[in-house]
Chain A
């Protein structure tokens, strides 16, 4: 495990060093190229603002009004009926919508049930095996101006459902036995 934390610590600096050395060896004007590429970053960051403002305001309204809590309570019995532990329901619904809220909930679950409990482990695995679909789509498509998303949202959300189901199965098999 120490090796893994060492890798994640060294990873970025090593990549940076490697790219710079390799490019210098290939006679790329590194600094000028860096500045050229970096300029694009400013444009992209600014252009995402309206997409993210729209999405985050809607999510904030939905959450602050209590509608999200209601939704969670509403689907809870159905989820429990198919064997999904009730405690994981709020996190499962939040995860595709809001990354920061999901991280907060995961932290809360680990604090409440303990990191080595079934729920604590489940929250940990779920956090790692799903992503904030709505946010990723908003940022990626927003940045390049894709207006017609096709099936992207449906596919992304269905993949999240699979991720949640698989997480429950895997944690049960790995730990609960």
Chain B
């Protein structure tokens, strides 16, 4: 069984959200034999109404203390109930536990997959779910992808660099916002920064744009190639590109980047005085595929 502590925090959140009938059903299934528990995982929407999860400040902090980066904000009661059931599954025998979780993955529909991927940071034997997690990055289903990639601390902890880079690139490729990825800064690396540069060149060649926020990933690795990209951004017609270049150069360790920024005093001041920050470029509705006129 996953940490008792996380299980009890989720219990208290659920008891505030569910009706007595719903909670009684769920609690009974949480203590049931594995196969019954698994069937309950599937059948949850028949017994628990789908409502939005609201959570107290206190519980938010408790969750984050227990599993940093983990949140249930914007979840539904069905998803939370399912994840709670998973934390009740007996994990004393690794082989049996893994087999049960694998069976749930193998037979899951979309909403179940969302719950399963959301639960990865809470499951035991975390290394065992690596392949499954990379499958979510390959998924064709937006919600499933989001469940693993957005607000989920699992990938940052366990992904190899190559897998991590694919996750970030695919997020960008799908026009999804990278600032919702947990561990973005900690896992930044030069290979990814250059992949992004190549990607941007392809986009520019096609007359398309790149979400300005992605350049936050290049700050720490400002070599000549990336500096050229900064110049390209500063010459762009989009003021958001200017801001992105200014922020990337300002946060860089490279003196060449600082020199470049100094050639744009208005921007430089804006960054120094914090009148612009990456938060200004954290857009959720991206459409970078539209060809610019």
A binds B: no
Interface residues of A (CB under 8 A from B): none
Interface residues of B (CB under 8 A from A): none
